[in-house]
Amino acid sequence: MFSDDLKKMARPILEEIYHHPFVTGIAKGQVAKKALIFYVEQDYRYLTEFIKIYANAIIKLDSRQDMAFFSDAINFILNNESFPHQVFCQIADVDYKKLQHADPAPKAYLYKSHMHQAVDTGSLLTVLAAFQPCPWTYTEIAKKQISEGANNQRNPFTPWINFYGESSDDGNEPLANQIFLWMDRLAARSSDKEKNQARDFFLKSCELEWQFWEEAYYQQDWRFKKSHSTASGDFIKWSNSNIQKF
């Protein structure tokens, strides 16, 4: 099956995600506050962009059932996915509202551009392949951490782990599995070229998931942030003070 190949090829990346210090920190209940803050800032923007990406994907669809999938995904972000952010904010002792205005840092910027490119240039199979590492890697992280007992009463990240682990034990087929099944049905009637493109987008998204943890853990922002954040408040403040000087 196409999805079995994808999972096999992504295995080394998933293993590195499992062992990333941010992810093992969640299991141990120890992640630096500045890493949690950077993550929430970036993820808030990233998920907001995802809503737009899904809306663009809907434009390409004909069946209402397919549309409902993306519409559910939008609703999930809007109504449910603030919860794991709130868990991080509570642990970091910061106000969530203050973290909703960041500029996308380089890897987050790359990830959202990659997703837009999937929608702009790819078939539905490619769009699903680019999207899939998002629910898949989080579900796998949570399942592994639950199986290792990380969601215990002493761990402040337990609600986060349970949130992403829940979809795997509510009796329905987990979302990530449903998408793999859908991808297999599409792959059966796709050309080799389309399948290669989908595989490429899938594996790059898996790497970008790893990069997203890495970026937050080390707070890797733009090196010359001040000089090119023309749209941000910082620049306006900076330019006003310069104007006042002259």
Q: Residue type for 138, please?
A: Y
> Footprint of ligand HMH on residues 47-66 (CB under 6 A)?
47
Q: Which is nearer to ligand HMH, 57 or 134 (CB)?
A: 134
In the stretch 181-220, what mask flags binding to ligand HMH with x, by CB under 6 A? ----------------------------x--x--------
Q: Alpha helices, DSSP H only, in 33-123? A: 33-59, 64-79, 82-92, 106-121
Quote the least distance from Cβ 43 to ligand HMH, whole Å. Answer: 5
DSSP 51: H
CA distances from 173 to 25, 74, 181, 188 (A): 29, 19, 10, 21
Nearest to 85 by CA among 126, 44, 48: 44
Q: Is 138 in the site for ligand HMH (CB under 6 A)?
A: yes
Quote the least distance from Cβ 134 to ligand HMH, whole Å. Answer: 4
Question: Which of 134, 150, 186, 198 touches ligand HMH (CB under 6 A)?
Answer: 134
Helix (H) or strand (E) holding 112: helix 106-121
**Cα–Cα dist 112/205, whole Å:** 10
Q: Which is nearer to ligand HMH, 104 or 135 (CB)?
A: 135
Q: Which is nearer to ligand HMH, 43 or 194 (CB)?
A: 43
Quote the least distance from Cβ 83 to ligand HMH, whole Å. Answer: 11
- Stretch binding ligand HMH (CB under 6 A), from 40-48, 147-155, 174-182, 231-239: 40-48
3-state secondary structure of 122: coil
